[in-house]
Amino acid sequence: MKKSLIAAAGFAFIALSGQAMADADLGKKIYDRAFGRGCGACHDISSNPQLRELIKSGALDREKFGTVLKEGKNGMPKATGQIMSLGPVKKAGVTEEQAIDAVYEYLSK
Ligand code: HEC
């Protein structure tokens, strides 16, 4: 009984860590491919918001990030339709929230 519990916990851990890695990987694909040239086409320009730094400093939480992706903001186009139409996203079969999580996860690293 004890042994099987430990084994189950081990499997859960492996499954969870595998999932987290897959998410960041998918997030990178989204970041590199959305809008054809990727989010970086605009966000790697220093006058536009520096997403990694904003997330790491705590200035851009997951909720705000998701809202901007869904609704757009001034020069920032709505992105969720774009994201959901990408090949790797379709292949992963994730929901819109999971796809946003993946990009956020990637940018948090
Ligand atoms: C066409 C250029 C362009 C592309 C492509 C683009 N963005 Fe943006 N983004 C902007 C601009 C400009 C702003 C600043 C909007 C403002 O605050 O006026 C912005 C703002 C944001 C913000 C809000 C930052 C904040 O602190 O308010 C997030 C989050 C964001 N972009 C994420 C993304 C992601 C993720 C992608 C790729 C899926 C992406 N953007 C693609 C131009 C772009």
3-62 pLDDT, tens per residue? 666 666 655 555 555 555 558 999 999 999 999 999 999 999 999 999 999 999 999 999
Q: What are phi and psi of 61, to 5 degrees?
A: -85, 170
Spatial distance between the Cα atoms of 29 and 102, rounded to a whole number of angstroms:
10
> Relative to the CA of 73, which ligand 1 atom is closest?
15
Contact 49 CB / ligand 1 (< 6 Å): yes
Number of domains composing the chain:
1
Instruction: Give the pTM.
Output: 0.86
**Helix spans in the chain (H):** 2-33, 40-43, 51-56, 62-71, 80-84, 87-92, 96-108
**CATH number for the domain harbouring residue 88:** 1.10.760
Determine the average pLDDT of the residues in 84-89.
98
State the distance from the centre of ligand 1 to the C-alpha of 77, rounded, in angstroms.
7
Closest ligand 1 atom to residue 34 Cα is: 38
Q: Can you give the residue range of the structural domain that contains 27?
A: 2-108
